[in-house]
Amino acid sequence: MSLEITINDAIKDAMRAKDKVALDALRAVKSQVLLLKTEAKGAEVSDEQVITILQRMVKQRKDSYDQFTAQNRTDLAEVETAQSKVIE
């Protein structure tokens, strides 16, 4: 099963569980995958490309966490940490 299908299934599970943090993170991942597909003019996206997207998104979340922590915004830092755990 491709990662794209796995992501879609995880979105459905998060909706059923009413897990807002997971749902937000997974929708962001799906959005990035769709952007990559659009750039490739509708061609299939390989699992390696999806993994690269996931790694980039985790790095972005960790950078945001560091910035929020430096500014004493623990509420936002906790959200970023939770989303990076979902993406990983």
Give pairs for 60-69: CB < 8 Å, separation 24+.
Answer: 61/87
Amino acid 1: pLDDT: 57
Q: Do 63 and 47 form a contact (C-beta atoms < 8 A)? A: no
| Residue 15 pLDDT level (bands cut at 50, 70, 90) | very high
Total structural domains within the chain: 1
d(CA 7, CA 26): 7
Question: How many CB atoms sit inside 10 A of residue 62's CB?
Answer: 13
Range of the domain at 61: 3-87
pLDDT for residue 12 is more than 60: yes
Higher per-residue confidence, 66 vs 2 = 66
Span 46-87, pLDDT tens digits: 889 989 999 999 999 999 999 999 999 999 999 999 999 998
Mean pLDDT of 4-10: 92
Q: Do 29 and 7 form a contact (C-beta atoms < 8 A)? A: yes
**Which among 49, 36, 35, 30 has a CA at the least distance from the CA of 87?**
30
Amino acid 62: pLDDT: 94
